[in-house]
Amino acid sequence: MKGRDHFKHQTWRNGRNAVRYVPRNRVEDLRAAIDGYARFMILAEQYADEIIRLTRLQQNSQTQKTSSEKSCRASSPQGKCPKQADLDAFALHPKLG
């Protein structure tokens, strides 16, 4: 690009090739903007992956909680599960725990 006072910057936009001519003194700014955009895309993908992972963990824990409640109800003579506070009190009772 010797002798030119501008650079041609091409991008794909709205299904077409878009061309923009960038003055030589703005090329470094454009490169920094392109690098920043690439970094943004990487971070956005990492964020989406983490949200998906956390959502799946939450859904799995809710599914396990529901299935353990169902099995508790099926095995309990009253059809009810003991509350966690009752279980803690039972474990701490000297004669029962």
**Tell me: the pLDDT tens digits for 38-77?**
999 999 999 999 999 999 999 888 877 666 666 665 555 5
Instruction: Select the more confidently predicted residue: 60 or 94.
Output: 60
pLDDT of 96 > 50? The answer is no
Contact predicate 8/21, CB 8 Å: yes
**97 within 8 A of 91, measured Cβ to Cβ:** yes
Greater pLDDT, 3 or 61: 61
pLDDT, greater one: 81 or 89: 81
Query: Given this model, what pLDDT does residue 10 score?
Result: 95
**Torsions phi, psi for 83 (to 5 deg):** -75, 155
- Residue pair 10/18 in contact by the 8 Å Cβ criterion: yes
Q: Does the predicted model carry a pTM greater than 0.85?
A: no
pLDDT bin (cut points 50, 70, 90) of residue 90 is low
3-state secondary structure of 97: coil
The mean of the pLDDT values for the chain is 81
Q: CA angle, corner 57, sides to 56 and 60, nearest 5? A: 85
What was the pLDDT predicted at 63?
Answer: 78
Q: CA–CA separation, 94 vs 24, rounded Å?
A: 83
Residue 63 neighbours by CB under 8 Å, 6+ apart: none
